[in-house]
Structure formats: structure tokens, C-alpha cells
Structure 1
Amino acid sequence: MSKEIWHKRFIYARDHLCLYPAPEPLPRTRKFWLVMGLIALAVLVFCVFYISYLTTQQTAFQTNAEDFGIMDQAIWNTIHGHMLHQTICTSLGDTNCVGPAGFVRFAIHFEPILFPISLLYFIWSDPRVLLVLQTVVVALGAFPAFWLARLRLRNEWLAGVFALIYLIYPAQLQASTDEFHAVTMTAALLLFTLYFMYTRQTLWFFVFALLSMACKEEIPIVVATFGLWSLVFQRRWRSGLAVVVVSILWFVVTTKVIMPHFSPTGQALLSTRYNGAGGSGSLLQQALHPLTFLHTYLFDASHRAYIHDILAPAGYIPKPHGGGLFYLPLLAPWILVMATPSLLINLLSTNPQQYSGLFHYNAEIVPVIIFATIESLVVVRWLTHVGLAAITRHREAQNRPFAHLLSAEGLLRRPQVVSLVLISLLTLAVVFSSLRTDYYFHGQLPFSISFQWPQTSAHTDLAQRFLAMIPADASVSAQNKLVPHLSHRESIYMFPYADGQNSQKEGQAEYILLDVTGDIYPYFESQLYTHEVKKVLASGQYGIVAAQDGYLLLKRGLAAPAILSSPTTSAGQQHDLDALLFNLPTSFCSNIYVPQSEIQNPLHVDFKQPDGQKLHLVGFQVGASSPFSRTNGYGTLTTYWRVDSSVKTPIQLQILLKGSDGREYLTSTDMPDLSWCPAQTWQPGSLVRLTSRTFNLQKSSIPNGLAQMSITLLPQAQTSSTIMDVQARLPVQVLNAPVTVIANQNTNALQLMPITIVN
């Protein structure tokens, strides 16, 4: 057989094996521009809403040191001569707290896109510019989602719905509202990459591939899978292979040369996340035991829940008795496979946040899911046509009565109509599924259960006064929520790092700024946080510059505050730090005093102290919904007290839940105001507000069903082992209260309201 014949057969086979030839263009009709206009309007609404939401979070002190403060400091330092230098870390748990001098960010993540982003600081030197940029870039991803869906589905209206699906997709919204991360922008950049890859626009394919890879060190592996896909399914040998080679070289140079070079330890500082679950050896060692490996990283409940949380919004058919029957994107596994690198990076990490379905870790997965969902509808359309054609042939072959009616005029002869109706219904189902997930699962849409618009207050406004007292070139150790407002400096730390209570005195901060009423991260227990603050005050190294409304500004070298009371341990040799009472300015506790008009749910209940004095509860407010979820429900309790005379005995307040089984369950004793402004310091003739820290029931064994939220008062000296001693509680008497507020004389517990506990 001649070479020409073989060559012709090869060309024929090649053409017929090409699954994704160059797409046939569609005319830009009036319908196209109408849908484009609607998408542009949706993008504008998205930008206005989320820019307002995120920048208000910053104004309301609801952003965090990790990672917003980190990103801001690294970018600000770059334009001030210190390339991507950062000093912020969590000294209680991070592996990157290698020293107070800090390090170049490339030791953690390789994000060269931050260099051009830093130029924005010459226009507006404010961390909010990062939130604006990220929101706009992410929103623009709606356009390639529309263009790609239009070419595949050949329908402008269905394609326009996919632009909406992208904008409301839960994983995208989780990433977009998780402050600022360069990798979040890949939600849009990779969608542009996929679109230009599919339409064979090589130059723009490379441009957006490079922009995507510049966002994080792992993205080159994602882009490499795009190149492999193009090579296999589009037969674009040169461009596909070039993308693969460039991506792999980028990844190797980044992880083996650049990041180790900038790391103080010689390896990427976050690489310990992949040393094996629970420190049980390397991933390679665990992979030698495949069953254990699969159970650990794929089949256990948390990892399976992660897969569900990522895929379910794109279309999920549940089984009648629980569990999942099918995820729509699985109809296009040859598309979904491009998400494998990102999924593995998250599933194999020892950091549970990466497989929680929350935060920014899934931004690069969203474009692949959008493409896979579009392609699944293409598969459904093809299957519909094939199925109807087969049914038609079968009926005609059987020569059944009335078959000619079905064949000539029935739906069997109009597969386009049937398939259009079917994929339209499936598209609407994806919209519904995304909205449903947004509603229930930590959603970031205005109607979501957990969504709250950030609020400023007189307390947050006061923070600006304390920030202004700190010199611009001073080193500062500040509380989590305060760091992003102080991060325009070379040395900024998250308390307790650099507070002088360690061996690295050269890294001691000049100033310490705290808000004892605010978020105490990286601590999760108030007792540990309070202990560390009191340790700083007792060290004699810092004195008070200003104190008001729970804010405390300390400066190294000033005279330390005097200790008013100094209980000792049982050995009588050293101070019991937790019981120390310092001579702080009276303005420090100004936050607990409120006017009569602020009291919620007024009542009159007396608690009798051992010396005969009474504490008067005059109002309360429960910040928890009913039903209350034990898995993701959070609540607070605020109580209001009238002070007639000086209180001599320190007290503590318990929040209890009496379960449907009749037992009492301790919910919280975490009242930060009592740690710093104990009852014996309350001013006679005042009204005092006490608010608990947020509590949950994740570690509680309380049964589902109706429970009663109650409070008790008892002496502060009561230990944790005897804290549930009923005899130690102060007697309670209800003088005037709603019918739901009842005093149990047998347990001295005051029932405030019923609440239903659910899973």
C-alpha cells in the first residue's frame, strides 16, 4: 500500500478522533448583545455589592492579620524597598514564625503577580485597593463563562445563565469574600485561559496562562493539565506541549530553587502540611499502603464532605434515604480531570481548612467545574438525540399502531426541542442547587442564613484614636483584627508574637495594642489570652500609654501599672496571674457601662450574695437562633445589671442549657468583661452590660430537642472541678419577668428562654 494511502488514512483517522475541533463561530446578533448587556449589569451589581461589603469589613475591623494584614504588609514593603517582606505569623501554631526579623513572602508562596499589583499603592496606598482589584477581576470571569457556554450550547440565553452560575457559585463566593489572596483571581483568569484554549487563540491562551501561574506556586500544575488536555483533545501539539513544558519548568524552578532560596529553613515554610496526616510519615510512605491512604485522604467523612461541598452546587441528585446519587459535572470526566491537581493539593493537606469547602483554597477549581457542567449538558443533549433516534427506529421497525404519528409529528421527530427543554431544566436546577448551598452552607449572598452586613460602632470608631498614637516607623504587636490597620510598616506582629515574653528580646515590639473585648485569635480560650496579657503587664517591661473602652495601648520602657491585688498560689511563692488586678485607668472599663435606653428584654431578678448584698439582673439578649445547630450554630448572651452599692465578692457567670433529658450542660463561662472589670470594680449607681464571647455546641453532648437556656451566678473562686456544684450558686429570686423567665429554686438557675437543638 502506497505511502499516500496511509497518509490519507492517517489524516482521516486524525480528523475523526479530534473531539474538539475549532469551534464554529456564532454571529453576534442583537440577542447576543442583549445578553452581554445583562451580564455586564450583573457584573456591575456584583462589584458594587462586594466591594462595599469587603471594604466595610475593613472599616468595621472585621478583617484579619492572617492573611489580609500579611498581604498588605508584603505589598507595602515592596514599594518601600523591602521586597515582599512580612513579619506577621501565628506564634502559637505556624511553622513560619522563624524570627522577628521576618522573611520574604516567596518562602511561603510564589506570587509574582504581587509586583504589578503593588504599583496600585502609588495611586491609593490603602489595603482596600486590594479588595477592589480582586472583586473586579473575579467578576470579569462571568464573560468567558458566557462565551464558552455559548459556543458549546449554541444558545445565548442558556449561556447567559452560566455567567450567573459563575457569579453565585459558592466556592467562588467563599474565595472572593475571604479578604484578599492572589490565587482568588485565578477563578477568572483560568476561565479566560480555558476559553482561549478552546477557541485556539494561542497568544491570549499563553497570556492568561502566565497571569494565572503568577498567582500561586501550584497553579503551573493546573495549567500543565490544560496543556495536556489541549494536546490530547484538540491535537494542538506545539502550543499544548509548549504550555506543558513552560508550566512544569515554572513549577520546578519555583518549588526547588526560588522558594528554598528565600526560606530561612531551606525549604518552603508550609511544606510541612504534606508530611503526612498526624505526622505519620511522608505522603510517599503512606501511599505504599493504598487502603489506608485512600481511607485517610478520600473516604473519611470530612474529605467526602469536601468533595460534596465542591461539586453539589453544580447539580446534585440525592438518594431518597440520604447520600448522593449523582453530580452533574461527572458526566464530563475528561473535563473534570483538569481539577485533579487542585483537589489533591487540598485533600492531601494536613490543614483541615483546605478541605473544609471554605476560604480561598478552591478558587482555581471553579473554572473547571463551570466548564465540566457546560460540557455535561452537551453530553445530555447528545444522549437525548441518540436515545430519541433509537426509540424512533425501534417503533418503526415494530410497525406499531400510531407509530407514524409519533414519527412524523411527535416529539421523537423533534429531538432539538426535547434536548433544549431538558438542558434548560438542568441549567435551572444548577442555579437552584447553587442558591440552596449559598443559603445553608456559610453562604455569602445577602439572603444566606449566616450572612451579616458588617457594622461599625462607637467602639470601632474609637480604635482610630489609638492607631493615631503609634508612630509610623514603630514596631507593633497588635491583636488580630487591629493588625490590618497597622500593617503599613516594616515590623508588625500579631499578638502575642514579639510581646517580650520569650527569649528573643531583640524582636520585642515597641508598642502593644490590644482590644480585650475583641477577637482573641490565635487563642481560642479567653483564659489563655487573658493570662498572656496579664503576664505582659506583670513583667514590668511595658507601661500604659492609653486605655479606654477595652482598648489598651502599651509602650516598652514606660512605668508598668501597679498591682492592686496579688493573690498567690498554694505554695505562696508566686503570683496567680489569672487573679491579678491591675491599677488600670477607670476609662478602660467604660465599655461595660450603658444607659437605661440600651436595656433589652427588661425584667427584675435578684441574685443574693453571701454577705447579703444583691445583684439585680434588669435585662438580657440572646444572640442565637432557634433551632440552634450543634454543628455550625453560634451564639452569644448579653446581660444587664443594676449596681446599687459596691460589690465585695468577685463573681462569675455560667451559661447553661438544660437538655430534653433533664440534665444541665455547661455551655460557657467566657465573660471577658469579668476578667478585666470584675464586679468589685463596678461603680455604684450604674448599669453594667456583660456580653459573652461566641459559644457553640460542637463539643457538647446535649441531645437534640427542646432545651432551656439558663444562667447562674457563683463565686469567682469556684474551680473548674466544682463549677457545676449547685450548692455554690447564688440564690435567685424573680420579682418581675416574662412568663418564659423562671427561677429553679432547686438548682438556683434562671431559665431565660427555650431553644431547640438540632444537628
Structure 2
Amino acid sequence: MLSLEDLETWLSQKLAKRDRSEIILYLSIITYVVVFSSLTIVRHYAFKTRAWDLGIFTQSLWTTSFAGRFFYHTCELMVNPSGSFFGVHFSPILFFVLPFYRIFPTVETLLIIQALVLSSAAIPIYKLAKEYIGYRVVSLIFALTYLAYPATQYVNWYDFHVQIFLPLFFSFAIYYLFKERWPKYFLFIFFALMCEEHVAIITFFVGIYVAWKYREQIISAVRRKGPVERKLFVPFITMVISVIWYWFTLWQRNTFFPTNPAALEVFLGSANFTILGAKNPLEIPLLIVLRPLNALQALAYDGHLKLLYLFVLFGPLALFSFKASSLLIPTISWFGFSLISQTLAHHVLGHQYETYVIAFISAAAIFGLRKTFLKKQGLKDISGSLKKLVVCSFIFLVTISPLSPLITTLFPGYASIQIGEHERLLYEVLALIPTNASILTQDNIFPHVSHRVEAYVVPYIFLDSGIRELAIDFVSQTMDKVEFILVDNKTDPTSTSLIHSLLETKPPQFTLIVTEDNNTILLYQRKT
């Protein structure tokens, strides 16, 4: 049987001037990109993508590229009257995506970019492990573990988000932090900040971690009151930049893209924290101190799911992250938010939020294993730890990955992909709508019609919120100006029911011109 030492020797051999381990890494990334971009594209064809959030990005990028608007989308006009995505999130990273989308203005472009960017974080993870553990076999295992990591795959599975850049940027920032190459460290911190305004809270905690890392030198410098090494200013600079950046993002939103005052509480997410009583996420730390019993009640809400959430984030890495727990300091803000929140999406896989912590969990696992390696001083001595890591990664991959047969069986509406007669009929109906016509439709159809300025969606996410009446009024007013209405009662009975109820209250403005699949697909056209 091939020993780890033999495998290490084989991986170190050159092929086309590259270590075999690097070639395997790049081939693994390519395989990941092909698999996940293909599956998510098919998922889109199966009408499993949504206005929130793929449709938001396709319309924002299209209107910027071809309609002279500034990242304009219509999905949240009742909350964000400007329509600019920058009225919801400050994400200048989109300017890097924009040229690619302008050249290839399709949904497929975004889904391929997403798979490529997410998988590319395996490169700095590989470099970090190789630099600080020293063996190619260990580095490759960590890189492959990242690609097999369920949290990574679920982010990839769910539409498109600007947060996909965070594992890549944070992993490089961590790598250059340990290398003490400060210009590159700050470059990737800056790139991370460009993704979304809440990242500034994460980077502030990165600054706290750096201060902890250099705590002895900082204390010594304070005591001797002499010259201070430049690196000891890094944590302070990181925290100051984070505070200034966050303030700037709020200023630009309030100045140029103000939120509808009637929807401000919903926009700030107060419904997520009714037990704690927070009206704004920034109030959470103070209220945890002032209302500890409420905080415990909020923590216990969905307590079993929150424990499971932590398990599926740390379990695939065999809990090694806890052996270097100080590297988890930057995750405090996200876990403090998600574990106090009453919103299910904040403490289950299947959304973009895990991108805030993936890089730190992975880096902590690398340095956790490094502690074991330093104690035992040999590749053979840590073989048991490596086997544990591989086994845990494999078990979680085959049981909870979105590609797992178990998940597709238990959650077919989310994970399974099927393009049947219903979907084919829906495409035939879509083909009847002129490409420049104004249209109101539902969540899962919107990404297919979002390449126009006047595409609108029934804002179902607000129908169970404090602005329900505002959302219904928006739909009613939109119906008065669009040329077409397309609904599918099979996949979205809520939106279909709302449209029908509003049609009954209005003078006859629309004609039902197409009905398919036992009256589940309905296309209305405004009367001329």
C-alpha cells in the first residue's frame, strides 16, 4: 500500500514544470467549475432560480450595461425607491463583474463566474497549508476538502451573490497576514470590503484577531515606550478602515439611495430579532448585555437547528478548527447574528451567508492540524488525523451536499432538478412575449424575463412582513402599467392567487391569451 511519504514524493515530482499536486489542484478546480456551473445552469432552466437573488443581479447588470441605469432593478421598489442595488448593498465589486456580463449578457455568465470564483479559494487554502504544514499531500487534502465542503457547495447552488468572492479574498488575506506581506494583506481586505457593507464588521474582527496574534509584542511595545514595529499598527489600521468604510456605506445609501421610511424596519430586519427586541442588527451586542434572558431565549429559538448548523460547518473539517480557536475571532460577528436570529435562513445551509466564515473555519482547521504536526514532527505521525479529516469530509459530502441523493430525496423542491413537460410549456409561453415588453411575473420566472427595464415580480418575500399592504399596493399599481402578466399556479400559488384577486377588483384590463397544463400556466395581455 502506498504510504503518505511515497505519495508526498510522487506529488512533488514535476510535470510540465508544475508539481503534480498543483496540477491535481487545478484539475480539481476545473472539474468543480464544470460540474457546478452545468448543474446550476440546468437548475435555472428548470425554473429553480429566483428573483431573490439571481434576477436582481441579472436585471441590475443588464440595465447598467444596456439601459444607462445604475445597477437598477425593480424587485424591491417599495423598499428601495431608487431601484439601485446600491440602495440595498454597497457592492462596488460588481464593477469587476460588469465587463464580463456586458460581453456575455446571459444568466449562464453569472453562474459560471460564481463556480469559478468560489472554487478558486482552494488555491490560497492550498498555499496556506503548504506554507505552514509543509507537505503537498496535506495541502491538497485541505484544498479538496474545501471543494467538497457542503457550505461552499450550498452557496454555489443558490442563485448568484456578491458574497461569493469572500472565501477567495479572505483566504488570501489570511495567507498574506501570516506571511506579513502587508500591502497584499490590505489589498485583499479592501477587495473583501468591496463585496458588501456588512463585511466591514467581519474585517473589524479581523483587526481584533491580528491584535490578539501580536498581543505580546504590542504589550511589550507599550511598556518600553520605544520605537514600534510597523506590523503592530496593522490591527489598528484594519479596525479604523473597517469603521470608516462602514460609515461611508451608510452615508452613500442614505444620501443617494434612501430607503422608504415606511419600510425601514423591514429593511433593517427587525422581525429577525423580536425576542431580543433589536430594531437594528447594530443594537444586538448592547441588548445581549442589557437583556441576557431575552438573549438566551433567542439563542434557544430553533436551538436544535442552530446546533446542527454549527455541526455541519465544523464537522467536515473534523473539528480541527477549534484547536486554533483564535482564528475564529473574525466569525464572532456572524455567529452572534445568526444564532440570535429567529430567521431560519440565518442558521441553515442553503444561502450565501456562510461565505462570511468559510475562510476562517478552513484556516483555523489548517493551523489546528499544524499544532498536532508540531507536537509529533512527522507526516507518518499525523496520518491518523489526516484520515479523520478525509473520512469526515467524505461523510458530510455524501450525506448533506446538495448533490447528495439523500438531500435530493428529502428536499426535492430545493435540490432536485427536473425539466419536464410543464417546464417546456412554460418556455413556449415565454417565447410569445416580446423581448422589450413590460411584464409582471412571479419569483421563479423573473430571472427568465429580467433582461429589460420594465420587468416586475410579485414581492412574495414581503407578503408576510410588516409592509404587506405596501407590497400589495405595489403589485396593484404595477398591473396598471404592464403589458403582460405571467403566473404559474403550480410553482407559485401565492403569487397567482394575489394576481387573480387583484384582477377581480379592477376594471377588465387584461385578456387571458394562453392557458397551459390544466390552467396552471396563465398568460394575460393588456387589452388594446
Q: Does 1:548 align with 2:516?
A: yes
Contact 1:347 1:355 in 2 (8 A): yes
Which of 261, 274, 298 matches 1:296? 298
Cα shift readout 1:715-741 (whole Å, capped 9, x = no counterpart): xxxxxxxxxxxxxxxxxxxxxxxxxxx
Cα shift readout 1:361-388 (whole Å, capped 9, x = no counterpart): 1012111011111111122234xx3xxx
2:275 & 2:482 partners in 1: Cα distance? 34
1:499 & 1:334 partners in 2: Cα distance? 48
1:490, CA displacement in angstroms?
Answer: 1.4
2:156 & 2:351 partners in 1: Cα distance? 8
Q: Does 1:510 align with 2:471?
A: no
> In the superposition, relative to structure 1, how do residues 331 and 424 fare at CA in structure 2: closer, same or farther (>3 Å)?
same
Contact 1:87 1:102 in 2 (8 A): no
Which of 164, 168, 183 matches 1:184? 164
Which residue identity does 1:115 align to in structure 2? Answer: F
1:191 & 1:274 partners in 2: Cα distance? 33
1:545, CA displacement in angstroms?
Answer: 2.6
Which of 196, 199, 224 matches 1:216? 196
Match of 2:250 in 1: 255
Match of 2:397 in 1: 438
Match of 2:71 in 1: 84
Secondary structure at the aligned position of 1:98 is classed as: coil
> In the superposition, relative to structure 1, how do residues 514 and 159 fare at CA in structure 2: closer, same or farther (>3 Å)?
same
Cα shift readout 1:492-541 (whole Å, capped 9, x = no counterpart): 22237888896636864321012233x117x3xxxx84474365267422
Q: Which has the higher helix share?
A: 2
Secondary structure at the aligned position of 1:378 is classed as: helix
Cα shift readout 1:541-594 (whole Å, capped 9, x = no counterpart): 211232233422102236xxxxxxxxxxxxxxxxxxxxxxxxxxxxxxxxxxxx
Contact 1:158 1:427 in 2 (8 A): yes
> In the superposition, relative to structure 1, how do residues 246 and 500 fare at CA in structure 2: closer, same or farther (>3 Å)?
closer
1:239, CA displacement in angstroms?
Answer: 3.7
Q: Does 1:272 align with 2:269?
A: yes
List aligned pairs for 1:609-648, cutoff 5 A.
none
2:276 & 2:255 partners in 1: Cα distance? 22
Which residue identity does 1:302 align to in structure 2? Answer: L
Match of 1:75 in 2: 61
Match of 1:520 in 2: 492
2:406 & 2:386 partners in 1: Cα distance? 21
1:422 & 1:241 partners in 2: Cα distance? 40
Is the deviation greater in 71-80 or in 46-55? 71-80
Match of 2:467 in 1: none
> In the superposition, relative to structure 1, how do residues 501 and 137 fare at CA in structure 2: closer, same or farther (>3 Å)?
closer
1:162 & 1:335 partners in 2: Cα distance? 16
1:140, CA displacement in angstroms?
Answer: 1.0
Match of 1:576 in 2: none
2:275 & 2:207 partners in 1: Cα distance? 35
Secondary structure at the aligned position of 1:85 is classed as: coil
Secondary structure at the aligned position of 1:212 is classed as: helix
Structure 1: which 5+ runs fail to align? 1-27, 90-95, 316-326, 386-414, 559-759
Task: Count matched residues.
Answer: 473
Secondary structure at the aligned position of 1:543 is classed as: strand
Secondary structure at the aligned position of 2:440 is classed as: strand
> In the superposition, relative to structure 1, how do residues 35 and 447 fare at CA in structure 2: closer, same or farther (>3 Å)?
farther
Secondary structure at the aligned position of 1:552 is classed as: strand
Match of 2:464 in 1: none
Secondary structure at the aligned position of 2:106 is classed as: coil
Cα shift readout 1:281-326 (whole Å, capped 9, x = no counterpart): 54444541213313413683333332223222221xxxxxxxxxxx
Match of 1:574 in 2: none
Which of 423, 435, 444 matches 1:460? 423
Contact 1:68 1:179 in 2 (8 A): yes
2:265 & 2:473 partners in 1: Cα distance? 27
Q: Does 1:363 align with 2:326?
A: no
2:278 & 2:336 partners in 1: Cα distance? 18
1:254, CA displacement in angstroms?
Answer: 1.1
2:386 & 2:266 partners in 1: Cα distance? 43
1:260, CA displacement in angstroms?
Answer: 6.3
1:276 & 1:260 partners in 2: Cα distance? 27
1:346, CA displacement in angstroms?
Answer: 2.2
Contact 2:57 2:160 in 1 (8 A): yes
Match of 2:223 in 1: none
2:213 & 2:392 partners in 1: Cα distance? 30
Is the deviation greater in 347-356 or in 366-375? 347-356
TM-score normalised per structure 2: 0.81
Contact 1:109 1:217 in 2 (8 A): yes
Match of 2:39 in 1: 53
Match of 2:140 in 1: 160
Secondary structure at the aligned position of 1:332 is classed as: helix
Which residue identity does 1:213 align to in structure 2? Answer: L
Match of 1:245 in 2: 240
- Structure number with larger C-alpha Rg: 1
Which of 412, 435, 443 matches 1:480? 443
Q: Does 1:194 align with 2:184?
A: no
Match of 1:18 in 2: none
> In the superposition, relative to structure 1, how do residues 531 and 121 fare at CA in structure 2: closer, same or farther (>3 Å)?
closer
Structure 2: which 5+ runs fail to align? 1-10, 218-230, 410-414, 461-470
> In the superposition, relative to structure 1, how do residues 153 and 348 fare at CA in structure 2: closer, same or farther (>3 Å)?
same
2:247 & 2:60 partners in 1: Cα distance? 24
1:75, CA displacement in angstroms?
Answer: 1.4
Which of 424, 428, 432 matches 2:387? 428
> In the superposition, relative to structure 1, how do residues 494 and 279 fare at CA in structure 2: closer, same or farther (>3 Å)?
farther
1:355, CA displacement in angstroms?
Answer: 1.2
Match of 2:500 in 1: 533
> In the superposition, relative to structure 1, how do residues 514 and 380 fare at CA in structure 2: closer, same or farther (>3 Å)?
same
Cα shift readout 1:665-685 (whole Å, capped 9, x = no counterpart): xxxxxxxxxxxxxxxxxxxxx
> In the superposition, relative to structure 1, how do residues 127 and 148 fare at CA in structure 2: closer, same or farther (>3 Å)?
same
1:285 & 1:224 partners in 2: Cα distance? 20
Contact 1:314 1:434 in 2 (8 A): yes
Secondary structure at the aligned position of 1:555 is classed as: strand
Q: Does 1:346 align with 2:318?
A: no
> In the superposition, relative to structure 1, how do residues 43 and 108 fare at CA in structure 2: closer, same or farther (>3 Å)?
same
Secondary structure at the aligned position of 1:473 is classed as: coil
Which residue identity does 1:345 align to in structure 2? Answer: F
Cα shift readout 1:420-477 (whole Å, capped 9, x = no counterpart): 3453322332232233223333x22355542766332343233333223323333211
Contact 1:221 1:341 in 2 (8 A): yes
1:487 & 1:346 partners in 2: Cα distance? 31
Q: Which has the higher contact order (CA 8 A, sep 6+)?
A: 2
Contact 2:275 2:294 in 1 (8 A): no
Is the deviation greater in 483-492 or in 300-309? 300-309
1:252, CA displacement in angstroms?
Answer: 1.7
List aligned pairs for 1:531-610, cutoff 5 A.
532-533=499-500, 536=503, 539=506, 540-549=508-517, 550-557=520-527
1:505 & 1:188 partners in 2: Cα distance? 40
TM-score normalised per structure 1: 0.58
Secondary structure at the aligned position of 1:371 is classed as: helix
